[in-house]
Structure 1
Amino acid sequence: MADAFILIQSFKGDPRRPVPSLWNARLGVKPAGDLWQRQGEMLWWQAWSLDGEAYLILPATLIPPRSQDSFSQRYGNLVVVGTDQLHREQLSQRINAGNSQSGSFSEAGLFASCLESLAEQTSVYWTADALASVSGTLAPLLQRGREGCMELRLQGQVLQWNGVISQRPLRNNPAQAKLVVWNNAATEPAPVDQFTLLQVEGSALQLILGTLLSRQIIQVPLEQNYGINEVLRTQISASPFSLRLRGRPKGFYRAGLQLQIPVPGDLGTWNKVLDTVSERLRSRGYASLPSATGMSDQGKQLWIKGDDPKKTVVGGWRWLRMKKNPLLSIGFGIEPEGTAFIRGFDQPKGSGLVVQADPSTLVSMDLLSGRWPKPMTKASTMTFQVSPLDAKGLTKGLWRMQGQLLLPQS
């Protein structure tokens, strides 16, 4: 039956809390109230289909048999409630097409582990279609987690998650892979300043840009217009990075993006690329500020709009000296940072991502696109880490993800 849905989430009943709106919408206020009290602390599920329809799924033992046919459809030990007869028939067709007549959550391997988690504790499972629907324009940056399964737990105002993400369907992964067990909460990243709305650090830029850089529509202009050929793309993709989005109290933009990358290879080659970028910026009406002569400002290039009398910096780049590779510091909509904020870029390749964000502020500034769940959009703090599920590489393409949200007071 799981094949019929793109997103499934399990919830724990709590008669002390108000009846969920989905229960009232699918069952009617009076029946929903009665069943909610009878539900106690048993699990129930909400599932979404590809057409956006939300279904309520309840244990069959909760609903009297004579009542089931009036508003629901039974599959094994579960009862699925849709909005109308048409959606119930469409659901039945999808289940039949998937050759999954059983109403229990049953599969094999990692997918079985995920469905077992859904059947036993608060969890969430999503597919690539669900991720695309929820994340909107951010979807190309999230392809490492096209499909995933997380166990959830709420401790006070902190919502924690722990599980597995993958670029391919979970059922196509090795049978020996299992959801990770709970350990301590994700390690707290180093604090960021009040103007940083989002910070992402990773062991390889390809972890977030790999999908974009693999597309010909991106590769061709990079090579033809800027001289960034396959060799340079490979070098930069494998480089560690630190990216942060910072709010701006004044200027043309409400926020600016800063990126730092230790650049491997011949520095002269990358300076040629930057010279080409400079030419194209000038051809589009931008002007560069005069370069300073100080040692710390060598290789620094700041850009303004050519018709701006205030000469407000809208971006630029500069080279920072490091012990190993030179560090390229770039600013988009903001001046590039003059000191290194990248941390731990000597860590081994494949060690993943660390993300910190202020979702509520991003939403208030209209900087977070998509249809994210309300707990996320209202959270003041979000942190999570992504790392290989198996450091030995036996489960290549599978990643452990753990993190938490700080929710507002009820």
Structure 2
Amino acid sequence: MEKKKKRIFEIIQIGYTGDWQSRLFDVLITVAIVLNIFIAVADTFDELSAYRIYFDMIEMVTVIGFTVEYFLRIWTANLLFPYESYLHAIRKYALSFDGIIDFLSFVPYYLPFFFPSGIVAFRMFRVVRILRLFRINAYSDALSVISKVINRKKDQILSSVFIVLTLMLASSLCMYSVEHQAQPEVFKNAFSGFWWSVSTLLTVGYGDIYPVTELGKILSIAITILGVGIVAIPTGIISAGFVEEYNNTRRSSDIEKVIDLKFIRINVTKNHEWVSKQIKDLNVPEGLILATIIRKGEATVPRGDTVIYEGDQVVLGAQGYNDDYKIHIREIELKERSSWVGYALKDIDMSKHSLVLMVKRGSNILIPNGNTILKSGDLVFVYTKKNIQDSIEIDI
């Protein structure tokens, strides 16, 4: 069940190129979101009322899909937040931005079934499904660049927005002071000046409010010229961010090969051969690196003269195994009537392409040799290029 749960979690998360099921799920969810938004818009056209029955069917199917997805995410929340307890993981997802959007995308559809009297109001609540568009950003690498750029440049963007707001406030107060006497019915208060500054700085104005005095016109010209430059600052920041992201992506693509490192942790016990030895004196196999030492909960980067003590946890790293030859590791549970039970490994009729790596007997792990006799209940791990009957392929 845990393996199936992990697989479902992988499918409903953002997929990668090698996982067609997860990529298919991303495409289906994206199509469902777009269809749902299309129906919300098409439902407002009286000319399309003849097709409303089809719209309702599509809406029902997509909403059911959103519902199933939400509860699958609730079920697998502990895999999304592995360091939280199950209930805390559920709460963390449910109260997150994505969780709230997922919840609001389907709940309004069901509310009229429980509260028929509020059906009109609940249909208005369905507008929140447009928030589901934010989820497309998560499924698209191209769209996710936008959120990356904005997140990286958020401090500069906030600073520029603060400058723009300060300019608007200052210009509104200045324009009110200059124009209030000449046209009190137009520039009634500072808010009227603020409306003028917003419509002027961000558009070309609406013609409903404008200065008529000579000083007001001169001030308007200065504010408009200054405003055009200042409003362009956020655009420049975001544009520079896109160029930065593009350059980073291109540099990453220039790397010929990315090698994943796998790590193992060794607990140094009292009688361990590494106790009281320096790092430089350890007999570490070639190809392994000693990445870090965890001592009393604190991680340290080891040096050559670092001494290992009892209770330390030594973390070793190595290049991950690259399965170029499609070799499989299989687990075989020996039953009482298995043809292997009671025989030594050297006497078993096994393909020359296969190798017994390990035998698990109860809680003990055995590294076998040719004389190892197999018993009923043993779990035999075989490294092979071929399929073996009654075996289970496992992930290592």
> Higher relative CO (CA 8 A, sep ≥ 6), structure 1 or 2?
1
Please tell me whether Structure 1 or Structure 2 has the larger radius of gyration of its CA atoms: 2
More helix by percentage: 2
Given the two structures, how large is their TM-score scaled by the length of structure 2? Answer: 0.23
